[in-house]
Amino acid sequence: MTLVRIVEIVVDTFGDVAAETLEVGRHRRIEQPHEFRGRHKPATSDNAREPGHGTPIDGDLEVFSGLSTTKNVGDVIAKFALGDRGHATTVADLLRSDTYGNRALFTQNPLLPATIAVALAPSLRAFDERIPMSSDVESKFHFSREMVSGEIYRKYEKAMRKYWKVEDLDFTQDALDWQRITPEQQKGLLGITIRFLAGEQAVTDELVPMLAASHALRRFDWTMFLATFLLEEAKHAEFFMRWHEAVVGVVDPSEVAPHFLTRGKTVDPTGRFEVRDVMHEALPNYGRILHEAALGGTEKEIERAFVQFSAAYNGFVEGVLTMPSYEIVIDTTTQWDAFPTLKQGFKLILADEGRHITFGTTACRMLIEKDPSYEEAVHEVFDAYRGNIVGLVEYQKAVPGLDVGKYQTMKVRHYRNRCREMGVKPDDTLIEQILDPSIDFVVGVEAG
Amino acid sequence: MARQWTCVEAGCDETITAPDTDTIIELVQAHIADAHDSFELEDMIEAVLVDVPDAE
């Protein structure tokens, strides 16, 4: 259904525009203005006036308390659709998306566009007030000299320059090496690579909230970089899929699952630390908070949720927890003088990860500089998953002959560096705990 | 302006200064490999570089 058709329905149904009603809506003060770019759960004719349904800000219901008749409701959408190009674009974007099965609903109920307009109107007005535009046409363009000379846009350019393809890699020697190593070595190595295979798929799946938030915050350079980020995470998952297929001969879930290192609940014998599932608990949960903020939160809510999610994804998982795992695989292939393409792939992936991690930490730094209270969100994340980081990475013990202490020291370096990049103060107690040799319980890690 | 990087490996406070970014990345990677048997990624080095006045 096109916007034109929707407007036709509205005008046919409700008749002429009532200018008086529109003035009520446009001049009412906005309690919680934000730069609206997301979509709200639409109202229906049944719930449009209930808190939490179709209204991003409960207080805004009052704005439309006068809109008790369908005629006046229709006035609003007619105004927004016909009278303002910027608003029309936003309304059209929502209505065309079919996110909520719009098309079928509109066919059945021509009143629905009007109730959606009621839901959108406060945010549209807030959008108007927050982002001064010299013209509606200018609002269609995002590039500026300042943006393309900025550090995030430069990361996008670098990602485009450094692009590599899995299909260019040759797995022949790795397949031969797989046949000559011992069953014990096979088990140890596969335990690590299978975790990467799962982890890279997980981080690919969990990136969408960052894109939604960048869009909502109108940071187009972040969106552009995240497009390369998402593609590269998908490519990393592809690398591990191809390597396991060509070298080990496993691809399907039923084939790889038996090799996944499993353990019962990890327990710290001292009882001081709880070990939680970062990949399947922290990332989805923080991602849900960020996504919801991007859809209907205030600017500050989106920014704080971005810092929280990025601290977990880029800072904690990619930036500290996974780094020793990469190095363990590189050290192992060096020690065995085997698997040259696995080693090459890890180095290529690491170069990508360096950009991903520092995108996240740079974005956090920018937001924390804007509002220092966001620093607390970083510490909350690292504190919530403290047990995972103070314990030993299980791979350290999976491959005989590795220097276990080296990887704990490395975690401290990476933690301090992530804090330095984000512009936050490191938690000295956490550092002491990572380095404490008496804390030696082993934590299962999915890397990504 | 020169570029400067400080190591934050536990027990290490090495400070490296170089005239440009490419040179300091090379020097930092050599330090991490030699002193800590590890590696540091280019983007991570760049992210924490600070500008300092030239030595002369």
pLDDT reported for residue A103: 53
Query: From the CA of A355, how many Å to the nearest CA of chain B?
Result: 6
Tokens at A413, concatenated: 């370096």
* Closest CB from A361, A409, A420 relative to B9: A409
pLDDT at A254 over 90: yes
Closest residue in B to A435 (Cα) is B10
Where are chain A's structural domains? Answer: 3-140, 145-443
B39 neighbourhood in chain A, CB within 8 Å: 327
Residue B6 sits at φ, ψ, to 5 deg, of -120, 130
Query: From the CA of B56, how many Å to the nearest CA of chain A?
Result: 28
pLDDT at A318 over 90: yes
pLDDT reported for residue A139: 83
pLDDT at A408 over 70: yes
* Average pLDDT for A299-311: 98
pLDDT reported for residue A144: 95
Q: Are A223 and A147 in contact (CB under 8 A)?
A: no
Preferred mutation among B14, B31, B38, B45 to probe A, highest tally of A CBs within 10 A = B38
Task: Please identify every stretch of chain B with a pLDDT value under 70, giving residue numbers as ranges.
Answer: 56
Q: Note which residues in 315-374 of chain A have CB less than 8 A from chain B.
A: 327, 350-351, 353-355, 357-358, 361-362
Q: Are the beta carbons of B48 and A354 separated by less than 8 Å?
A: no
pLDDT reported for residue A396: 62
B38 neighbourhood in chain A, CB within 8 Å: 327, 406, 410, 413
Q: Are A180 and A213 in contact (CB under 8 A)?
A: no
* Average pLDDT for A150-164: 97
pLDDT at A433 over 80: yes
Where are chain B's structural domains? Answer: 2-52
Provide long-range contacts, Cβ within 8 A and 24+ apart, for B4-9: B4/B49, B4/B50, B4/B51, B4/B52, B5/B45, B5/B48, B5/B49, B5/B50, B7/A413, B7/B31, B7/B32, B7/B35, B8/A412, B8/A413, B8/A416, B8/A417, B8/A420, B9/A409, B9/A410, B9/A412, B9/A413, B9/B35, B9/B36
pLDDT reported for residue A61: 33
pLDDT reported for residue B7: 97
pLDDT at A312 over 90: yes
What's the CA gap between A61 and A160, in Å, rounded? 47
A135 pLDDT band, cuts 50/70/90, is low
* Average pLDDT for A217-236: 97
pLDDT at A164 over 70: yes
Query: pTM to 2 decimals?
Result: 0.73
| B17 membership: H or E segment, kind and range | strand B15-18
Average pLDDT, chain A: 77
| Between A265 and A422, residue with greater pLDDT | A422
* Average pLDDT for A369-390: 95
Q: Are the beta carbons of A420 and B8 separated by less than 8 Å?
A: yes
Q: Are the beta carbons of A409 and B43 separated by less than 8 Å?
A: no
A31 pLDDT band, cuts 50/70/90, is very low
pLDDT reported for residue A64: 35
What's the CA gap between A359 and A174, in Å, rounded? 33
What's the CA gap between B21 and A184, in Å, rounded? 44
Above pLDDT 90, what percent of chain A? 52
Look at strands A442-443 and A392-393 and give their pairing. parallel
- A–B CB contacts, 8 A cutoff, strictly below: 51
Q: Are the beta carbons of A354 and B39 separated by less than 8 Å?
A: no
Question: ipTM value of the model?
Answer: 0.95
3-state secondary structure of A274: strand
A385 pLDDT band, cuts 50/70/90, is very high
Closest residue in B to A348 (Cα) is B41
Q: Are the beta carbons of B47 and A409 separated by less than 8 Å?
A: no
Q: Are A362 and A154 in contact (CB under 8 A)?
A: no
Q: The domain at A145-443 falls in which architecture?
A: Orthogonal Bundle (1.10)
pLDDT at A72 over 60: no
Closest residue in B to A432 (Cα) is B10
Above pLDDT 70, what percent of chain A? 66
pLDDT at A4 over 50: no
pLDDT reported for residue A275: 83
* Closest CB from A155, A350, A416 relative to B41: A350
What's the CA gap between A284 and A301, in Å, rounded? 17
Q: Are the beta carbons of B44 and A431 separated by less than 8 Å?
A: no
Q: Are the beta carbons of B41 and A410 separated by less than 8 Å?
A: no
pLDDT at A163 over 70: yes
Query: From the CA of A409, how many Å to the nearest CA of chain B?
Result: 6
Query: A410 CB near a chain B CB, below 8 Å?
Result: yes
